[in-house]
Amino acid sequence: MRILFVVQRYGVEVAGGAEVLCREVAERMAARGHESVVLTSCARDYDTWEDHYPEGVAEARGVEIVRLPVVRTRDPARFSALSQRVADPLRRNPVVEAAWMHEQGPILRGFGGELRRRSRDVDVVVFFTYLYPTTVNGLAELGGTVPVIVQPAAHDEWPIRLPLIRSVFDRADGLAYSTPEEQEFVDLRFRPTVPTEVIGIGFDPPVGGPPDVASFRRTYGLGDDPYVVCLGRLDPNKGSPEAIDFMAEYRRRHGGVRLVMCGADMMATAPRDGLVITGFVDDATRWAALAGAAVLLQPSRQESFGMTLAEGWLMDRPALVQRACEVTERLVHRSAGGLAYGGYAEFDAALGMLLGRPDLAARLGANGHRHVLATYTWDVVLSRYEHLLERVVTARSTAAGREVQSTDRRPTTA
């Protein structure tokens, strides 16, 4: 099958969950004999959308990558002001919503024409995430001319309540979800009638031997201290400030344990005792960080899956997640792979239990590992993807056939 993937950023240096998933799916579908093409931006950083990659067509791991330049970078002050206004139902209107989506970015030069041209040569177009103009405007540009699937990465946050976003779900011919919780959320909010499937997210254990934990500890001066690891960019929207504050308070009360945060620091975080920030790390370093950790912390309140949970479970690490994120809280409950917390008191008690009872921590980590192997292996995930693609393409073809038959039966006038 010929598949066009549309995503706001793409590349091995891009750490966003949906973007990583898009790259993995595109590459692995190509390896299974499908024709994968990706239409994306030249940007690496979603905060500014500055061009980083060269414009044009490239190839990587069997995938044709088409990059378009960003028309202009984001204006942080304007984006913040528009976000505050559009988040308020009493202050927003269609014009403000459209302005916010434009400022959200990325707006790409020649996007509409390139999308239409590329879509004529494929069987189906797959849009990743509901949140960006590449999806919102892309669906409008295609106007039903080709079967489209949206993998929305949906969760309960204010942008998904915008009237503008309903068009994403209304225009999709099929919907792909990462978890049952995401499907349930979208079903309740938008009541789609098109084919849907819980695809999941695929994970592979690290290759090339066991992770080098000793080297990781030496590199970051951890010695023999126990540490909690948190993966992903440091960002207020990801719960990073609360995680840092909670860990600092826990260390003040109980001593010993450190917090290691592996990801780009978007907050210019000030140095704190017991806090180690590695910056963006490669796969080998990430696996080593997980393998050496006592606990994997997931503090975000806004996740559609939480890929780091599955990676931690592959290393038999127990998870500690923010209860306010229903998706990750229910995932931990369903897998029996960790604990959840609300405020600091619950955080203190849960972390103390995981650090103080190695038997419990090991059992929870093993439960999570079994859950990943049973649910999120790539072969299972890609088979589900292929099934949904076939359903959507067949449904569109059948509907088109019925339309032709209906037209043929219309009476003619003399």
List of residues 6+ apart from 128 with CB closer than 8 A: 5, 6, 7, 8, 18, 19, 21, 22, 135, 151, 153
pLDDT in tens, the chain (414 residues): 999 999 999 999 887 789 999 999 999 999 999 999 999 999 999 889 999 999 999 999 999 999 999 999 999 999 999 999 999 999 999 999 999 999 999 999 999 999 999 999 999 999 999 999 999 999 999 999 999 999 999 988 999 999 999 999 999 999 999 888 899 999 999 999 999 999 988 887 777 789 999 999 999 999 999 999 999 989 998 999 999 999 999 999 998 899 999 999 989 899 999 999 999 999 899 999 999 999 999 999 988 777 889 999 999 999 999 999 988 899 999 999 999 999 999 999 999 999 999 999 999 999 999 999 888 889 989 999 999 999 999 998 777 665 545 555 555 554
Kindly give the pairing relationship between strand 35-41 and strand 2-6: parallel
Domains of the chain, by residue range, sit at 2-202+378-407, 213-375
* CATH architecture classification, 2-202+378-407: 3-Layer(aba) Sandwich (3.40)
Prediction pTM value: 0.77
Helix (H, G, I), strand (E, B) or coil at 72: coil
The three-point CA angle 302-160-380 to 5° equals 65
Task: Using alpha carbons, select from 290, 299, 297 the residue that is nearest to residue 216.
Answer: 290
Phi-psi region of 33 (alpha: psi -120 to 50; beta: other; left: phi over 0): left
Query: With respect to CATH, is domain 213-375 assigned 3.40.50.2000?
Result: yes
Output the CA–CA distances (angstroms, integers) from residue 366 to 209, 316, 319, 330, 338, in the order listed.
Answer: 20, 5, 11, 17, 10
Rg (CA), the chain: 23
Helices marked H in 158-306: 163-171, 180-190, 213-219, 240-254, 283-292
* CB contact at 8 A, 337 and 361: no
- Do 2-202+378-407 and 213-375 agree at the fold level? yes
State the pLDDT at residue 59: 97
Are 170 and 203 in contact by the 8 Å Cβ rule? The answer is no
Q: How far is the C-alpha of 293 from the C-alpha of 241, rounded, in Å?
A: 20
Q: How far is CA 317 from the centre of its chain?
A: 21
Longest dimension (CA), the chain: 92
Among 303, 283, 258, smallest CA distance to 207 is for 283
* Residue 377 contacts residue 371 (beta carbons within 8 Å): no
Structure tokens at 259: 């917090």
Q: Determine the pLDDT at residue 414.
A: 43
| Tokens at 309, concatenated | 């949970």
- Are the beta carbons of 309 and 368 closer than 8 angstroms? yes
